Structure 1
Amino acid sequence: MIRRILSAIFLLWAFGFLWFAMALPGPAGKERTDAVVVPTGSGGRIARGLTILRTGQAEQLLVTGVDPEVKPGEFAAEYKVERRLMRCCITLGSDAVDTRGNALETAEWVSRHKIRSIRLVTADWHMRRAAAELAQELPDGVTVLRDAVPSQPSLRVTFLEYNKLLASQAMRLWDALA
């Protein structure tokens, strides 16, 4: 009996992993949101967030999880950001050190700026967990448009992210039941 239960759990995990790895989220369309939020991490995220800002698909940009030692001028030089855009429209958040911290930092920023809609830009393999963590923290009524940056994650990255997603969902369930 125990072997059957363990086998069923393993099969659920394995099929879930296959779905997770083969059905990675994709980029969003050109919908407009109040702001774009980009957690630091793998390549392409910040460039995508800046493109969205520059094309008028959002009015503000939060880059969450920036190293506290990075100064706005350094960021501007690295990503070739115009001084005007840096002053009016870009916030560098340095409180977060992980995905949960990104969600907390974003929720505080969204509340402070009275934002009603955001575009979340992160890697395709990271989108599901980042969006789930964010949904837990955002104020009611804030809509989130998922905009995944396509990548070619390694099997290791995919395996780790899938298990992190499962762990975060289990913790959320545990908290709800407690």
Structure 2
Amino acid sequence: MISRFLSLLVIVWALGFAVFAITLPRPAGDAMTDAVVVLTGGAGRLERGLDLLARHRARRLFLSGTDRTVRKKELAARTGRPQALFDCCVDLGKDSVDTRSNAKETAQWLGAHRFRSVRLITTDWHMPRAHHDLAAATRGLGVTILVDAVPSHPSFTTLFTEYQKYLLRRAAAPFGY
């Protein structure tokens, strides 16, 4: 009886992993949102957010998880974007260290600006957990989240690890973690 139950759990876990890997989120369209939030750490994320901001698809961009030593001037030079774009419309979040604290930092920023819609940009394999955490952190703020995943080619190890993290976040969420 116990072995059957454990076998069932393994099968459900394996099917869940297959669905997770096959149904990674895709890039969003060109819809307008109040804000764009970019989670640092992956190729193409910042460029995607800046492109949307430059094309007036959002009013402001929040870059969550930046190193405390990073300055807007350096980002403008690195990305080849005008300094004026950073000065007017980009905010740097320097208090987060992981996905969960990205969500808390972002929720505070969204609330302070009273934004009602946000485009969340992160890598495709990271999006399920990032979206889950941001949705939990913004509960009660009335914020609509548009998922905009940057495509990647994750390794099996990356997908496997991220799936475990996602499952743990989902399991811990009802307990306030």
The answer to whether TM tops 0.5 is yes
Distance 2:84 2:74 in 1: 15
Distance 2:14 2:109 in 1: 38
Distance 1:84 1:136 in 2: 33
Q: Deviations over 1:75-94 (max 9, x none)?
A: 11111221211111000111
Distance 1:92 1:80 in 2: 17
Distance 2:176 2:127 in 1: 22
Instruction: Between 76-85 and 93-102, report the one with greater CA deviation.
Output: 76-85
Q: Deviations over 1:3-38 (max 9, x none)?
A: 011000000000000011111110111110000000
SS of 1:49 mapped into structure 2 = helix
Distance 1:83 1:42 in 2: 22
SS of 2:152 mapped into structure 1 = coil
What are the equivalent positions in structure 2 for 1:57-68 lying under 5 Å apart?
Answer: 57-68=57-68
The residue type paired with residue 7 of structure 1 is S
SS of 1:128 mapped into structure 2 = helix
Residues 1:25 and 2:25 are matched in the alignment: yes
Could you tell me which residue of structure 1 aligns to residue 46 of structure 2? 46
- Shift of residue 173 of structure 1? 2.9
- Shift of residue 158 of structure 1? 0.3
Q: Deviations over 1:60-99 (max 9, x none)?
A: 0000000111112111111122121111100011111100
Q: Percent identity?
A: 48
Distance 1:67 1:163 in 2: 26
Could you tell me which residue of structure 1 aligns to residue 117 of structure 2? 117
Instruction: Between 113-122 and 79-88, report the one with greater CA deviation.
Output: 79-88
Could you tell me which residue of structure 2 aligns to residue 5 of structure 1? 5
Residues 1:140 and 2:141 are matched in the alignment: yes
Distance 1:109 1:81 in 2: 23
Distance 2:82 2:107 in 1: 26
- TM-score (normalised: structure 2): 0.96
Could you tell me which residue of structure 2 aligns to residue 168 of structure 1? 169
Distance 2:172 2:51 in 1: 35
Residues 1:151 and 2:177 are matched in the alignment: no
- In structure 2, stretches of 5+ residues that fail to align are none
The residue type paired with residue 110 of structure 1 is L
Distance 2:133 2:175 in 1: 15
- In structure 1, stretches of 5+ residues that fail to align are none
SS of 1:140 mapped into structure 2 = coil
Distance 1:8 1:127 in 2: 27
Distance 1:26 1:127 in 2: 9
SS of 2:43 mapped into structure 1 = coil
Q: Contact 2:72 / 2:87 at 8 angstroms: preserved in 1?
A: no
What are the equivalent positions in structure 2 for 1:62-141 lying under 5 Å apart?
Answer: 62-138=62-138, 139-141=140-142
- TM-score (normalised: structure 1): 0.96
4+ residue segments displaced more than 2 Å: 173-176
Q: Contact 2:24 / 2:124 at 8 angstroms: preserved in 1?
A: yes
- Shift of residue 140 of structure 1? 2.6
